[in-house]
Amino acid sequence: SQQGEEDPQALSIQEGENATMNCSYKTSINNLQWYRQNSGRGLVHLILIRSNEREKHSGRLRVTLDTSKKSSSLLITASRAADTASYFCATVQRGTGRRALTFGSGTRLQVQP
């Protein structure tokens, strides 16, 4: 079963705007990762944040993690049409093995040119 939910389920913005996606999870985690998926293809790893970190940046991406609320957010700044994809958060649950990823339900992002 899925670890948690992401919201919004779908997001449509104009090029140049920022996109924020939120993820909630249910159990204690080792780390949380964000992945992008273009149209039913493979997943592309974007960023990993460990449970003892609160914020991480990578290029136009900013991820925050609040373990007390069991939630994370992904911010994409100055979005581009090429950012159109589905975005998933995935957690590694503490005690289940380092690589058993549990995914959220995903956010479908549409960036209008």
- Site of interaction with other proteins (CB under 8 A): 1-2, 30-31, 33, 35, 40-45, 48, 88, 90, 92, 96-106
- The nearest distance, CB 17 to other proteins, in angstroms, is 27
Write the CB contacts of 37 (distance below 8 Å, at least 6 apart in sequence). 43, 44, 85, 86, 87, 88, 106
From its phi and psi, is residue 96 left (phi > 0), alpha (psi between -120 and 50) or beta? alpha
C-beta of 16 vs 97, nearer to other proteins:
97
Q: Which is nearer to other proteins, 36 or 70 (CB)?
A: 36
Size (the chain), residues: 113
Least distance to other proteins, CB of residue 72, Å: 15
Please identify, using beta-carbon distances, which residue of 15 and 93 lies nearer to other proteins: 93
Supply the minimum distance, in Å, between the C-beta of residue 6 and other proteins: 10
**Beta carbon of residue 14, minimum distance to other proteins (angstroms, whole number):** 28
Residue 64 backbone zone (phi > 0: left; psi -120 to 50: alpha; other: beta): beta
Distance CA 50, CA 29 (A): 8
Give the residue with the Cβ less far from other proteins, 59 or 113: 59
